[in-house]
Amino acid sequence: MAPIRMIDIAVNFTDGMFKGIYNGKQHHVSDIATVLSRAWNAGVDRIIVTGGSLEESKEALAIAETDGRLFCTVGVHPTRCKEFEESGDPEKHFQGLLALAKEGIQKGKVVAIGECGLDYDRLHFCPPEVQKKYFEKQFELAYATKLPMFLHMRAAAEDFCEIMERNINKFTGGVTHSFTGSAEDRDKLLSFHNMYIGVNGCSLKMAENLDVVRGIPVERMMIETDSPYCEIKSTHAGINFVKSLWPSKKKEKYDKECLVKGRNEPCLVRQVLEVLAGCKGITDIDLFSATLYQNTCRVFFPQDLDAAADALLAGRNESQ
């Protein structure tokens, strides 16, 4: 049977932790290459690096250019939307994002506009009116580039869905990543025919979260780590479903053969797959992962859909 293949749709490789920096202090060398090697060995075969500001999107593109299996997003996170106005010229800032996205598309690297959306849990970073204004503005990026959207929604489902509805014809599809909402939020998102839901450790914390996630149809789901954040912890409701484990050491005792305790990384997307399969009662994990892979290709890598479908069919036929 074909080995499990996974795409991690959300990795924050621009975060200092992957450069060995924690709370401003250097603890170990930059180790993206080591982290990638672990991911590829775990069955991950593509990663989307998240951009959350204009500068961060430039860095995400530079990182994506270092490996054929890395891709990235271009956009501004809701908590950073003040950067449009702080730049002194919001329209020029927008044009900078558009130019970067177009450059990244030509290089075959930029696969989505984002991370954008609304975050009402962290209004101290950016007020709701500013968030809404520039969330809406970024649909113009999606429209101009014909790219799907990589979305963020925290405690803001009503306004988020209202803005989505208004702009539904401006984008081809997308994923609301790191989903932690209610069953009602989930159903609102699923009512948009071209919307998928991204699940990571933060989506799987409590028994109530598992109940909500259980209701996401497999064909509308993607998996991610959102590393270095959102790991699955020993206190999480679905921990008993985890089968794949890696040794870990504290950052002070860094060892490249081990994970850094408390730092999530893309190889652990395998655990997300296992917890989802467990909580949904799925026994054929190969077919499950192939479906998730195909969902991800449908949105972000449409040129590869045929190959993904063939692999899916091959897997089905072998299991019969």
Residues flagged as binding site for a divalent metal cation: 115, 152, 177, 226
Residue with tokens 């799987």: 204
Cα dihedral: 264, 245, 241, 251 (round 10): -30
Q: Which two tokens stand for residue 246?
A: 């890696």
Query: Which is it for strands 259-260 and 248-249: parallel, antiparallel or unpaired?
Result: parallel
Dihedral over Cα of 35, 270, 301, 215: its sign: negative
- Which residue numbers belong to the known binding site? 115, 152, 177, 226
How many C-beta atoms lie closer than 10 Å to residue 194's C-beta?
14
Q: Which residues of 90-122 are buried (b: 16+ CB within 10 A; e: fewer)?
A: beebbebbbebbeebeeeebbbbbbbbbbbbee
Of 137, 150, 143, 157, nearest in space to 110 by CA: 150
* Cβ atoms of 96 and 132 closer than 8 Å: no
* Cβ atoms of 158 and 118 closer than 8 Å: no
Query: Which is it for strands 110-119 and 70-74: parallel, antiparallel or unpaired?
Result: parallel
